[in-house]
Amino acid sequence: MITRTMLAPPTPAVLPETLSANFSEFDLIRQFFVRPTQHTTLSIGDDGALLTPTPGHELVVSTDLLVEGTHFFPDADPFDIGWKALAVNVSDMAAMGATPRWATLAAVLPAPTFPWLEAFSRGFFACAESFNVDLIGGDTTRGPRTFCVTILGEVPAGQALRRDGAKLGDMIWVSGTPGRAALGLAHLQGRAAAIQPPLDTGQLEQCLIALHRPQPRVALGLALRGLASAAIDISDGLLADLGHILAASAGTAQLQIPHLPPEGFARDSYLAGGDDYELIFTAPTEHSETIAALATTLDLPLTCIGKITGQSMANGNTKNGSLGKLPENALVILDASGQIITPTRRGFDHFK
């Protein structure tokens, strides 16, 4: 075991250019992963961290993996990988209406080099500082590059935004511009010819930012407590993730999306591109004006894209959430002229 004093950050003078043989696992943790914490009773350096939850709050816990070759290219900028490893977890807190608080990081690293880890660590802590998250522990092992982050957040008891709360008549909303990350990825993979009309320089830049530095919608998630009936973040694609809300809430929906791109790759990306980390949420119509005003306050587009048209049974606060299967025709999508659209795909699934 190592003690907290052993994990005090070293002075910059002892920084190695590359990690030498006598640079130990604990030197590595100390160098790259120990930072001052804001709200943690006992952090990195013991067998476990000690946290003091805020009275009257529930803890929200979520885990996400980032695997080289699956979630990021081997030559991707390590700062971006560090940012995204935490950001996708922070996004889950946003989708629950929770305040992100603490995270652990399990890192599997091939023979690490100083510049790579230094940039990864800067990216990770840039995100941690932006969203006030303390890194409180983890594990470090040699192997194919993989990161697993577990995040903990807090929400006043009973106020979490769940997937199973959508009700008949609720409006369906989405934040930001879904599809950008998929367009950025297509550009990087040399599939840009599929994007018609082609992206201009400014649009391309926004798409690459969406892909590499997703901005978790924490402020939106917090503001939606008491307004939204259900919420989810878009990691696998708008249709797929909205499908999870419908399955959990036993609902059907009709979408008519303002400014949906014309048929083609841009439309497919909007409907089924993953990795955007925007929020989809449902809310009773009585809150529509408040939500529209929220868009101005947060300086974030919030678009009403449809409504819940049916519900097969009273949805209950199921104890285990829902991984139920969505019936074929539960989601009808109309174009601007009211014609039914049949999307070419609905979203991403690691096992399909």
List residues near ligand ADP by CB under 6 A. 2, 29, 33, 44-47, 105, 107, 135, 137-140
Closest CB to Mg ion among residues 139, 205? 139
109 binds, among ligand ADP, Mg ion, none (CB under 5 to 8 A by kind): none
Q: How far is the CB of 73 from ligand ADP (least distance, A)?
A: 22
User: Measured between alpha carbons, how far is 90 from 127 in angstroms, rounded to an integer?
Assistant: 9
**Mapping DSSP to helix (H, G, I), strand (E, B) and coil, where does residue 138 land?**
strand
Residue 135 CB, shortest distance to ligand ADP, in Å, is: 5
Output 29 or 195, the one with its CB closest to ligand ADP: 29
Compute the distance between CA of residue 68 and CA of residue 105 in angstroms, rounded to an integer: 16
**DSSP classification of residue 160:** -
| Residues 6+ away with beta carbon under 8 Å from 238 | 174, 178, 179, 270, 271, 272, 273, 280, 347
Q: Is 263 in the site for Mg ion (CB under 5 A)?
A: no
What minimum distance in Å lies between the beta carbon of 145 and ligand ADP? 13
Q: What's the rounded Cα separation, in Å, for the pair 7 and 31?
A: 8
Q: Which does 137 bind (CB under 5 to 8 A by kind): ligand ADP, Mg ion, none?
A: ligand ADP
Query: Nearer to ligand ADP by C-beta: 151 or 247?
Result: 151
User: Which of Mg ion, ligand ADP, none does residue 112 bind (CB under 5 to 8 Å by kind)?
Assistant: none
Binding residues for Mg ion, how many (CB under 5 A)?
Answer: 1
Encoded tokens for 277: 């980390």
Residue with tokens 């369906």: 172
**Are 64 and 117 a contacting pair, CB within 8 Å?**
no
- Written as one string, the DSSP assignment of 1-27 is ---TTTTSPPPGGG--SS--TT--HHH
- Shortest Cβ 139–Mg ion spacing (Å): 4
Among Mg ion, ligand ADP, none, residue 65 binds (CB under 5-8 Å by kind): none
Q: Which does 100 bind (CB under 5 to 8 A by kind): Mg ion, ligand ADP, none?
A: none
Q: Which is nearer to ligand ADP, 46 or 118 (CB)?
A: 46
Going from the C-alpha of 137 to that of each of 101, 185, 293, the distances in angstroms are 13, 32, 40
Minimum CB–partner distance for residue 148 and ligand ADP (Å): 10
| Closest-approach residue to Mg ion (CB) | 139
Q: Determine the distance from the C-alpha atom of residue 102 to the mean position of all C-alpha atoms in its chain, rounded to a whole number.
A: 15
CB 79 within 8 A of CB 205: no
Q: Is residue 139 near Mg ion by the rule CB under 5 A?
A: yes
Least distance from ligand ADP to the Cβ atom of residue 96, Å:
23
Locate tokens 């048209």: which residue? 309
135 binds, among ligand ADP, Mg ion, none (CB under 5 to 8 A by kind): ligand ADP
| Cβ-contact 62, 146 below 8 angstroms | no
| In the chain, beta strands by DSSP E | 57-67, 99-109, 134-142, 146-156, 171-175, 230-233, 251-256, 279-283, 302-311, 331-334
The stretch among 131-139, 200-208, 277-285, 295-303 that binds Mg ion (CB under 5 A) is: 131-139
Measured from the CB atom, the residue of 102 and 281 that comes closer to ligand ADP is: 102
Least separation in angstroms between CB 4 and Mg ion: 16
Q: Measure the CA–CA gap between 157 and 295, rounded to whole angstroms.
A: 26
| Nearer Cβ to Mg ion (100/138) | 138
State which residue, 139 or 349, has the beta carbon closest to Mg ion.
139
- Interaction site with Mg ion (CB under 5 A): 139
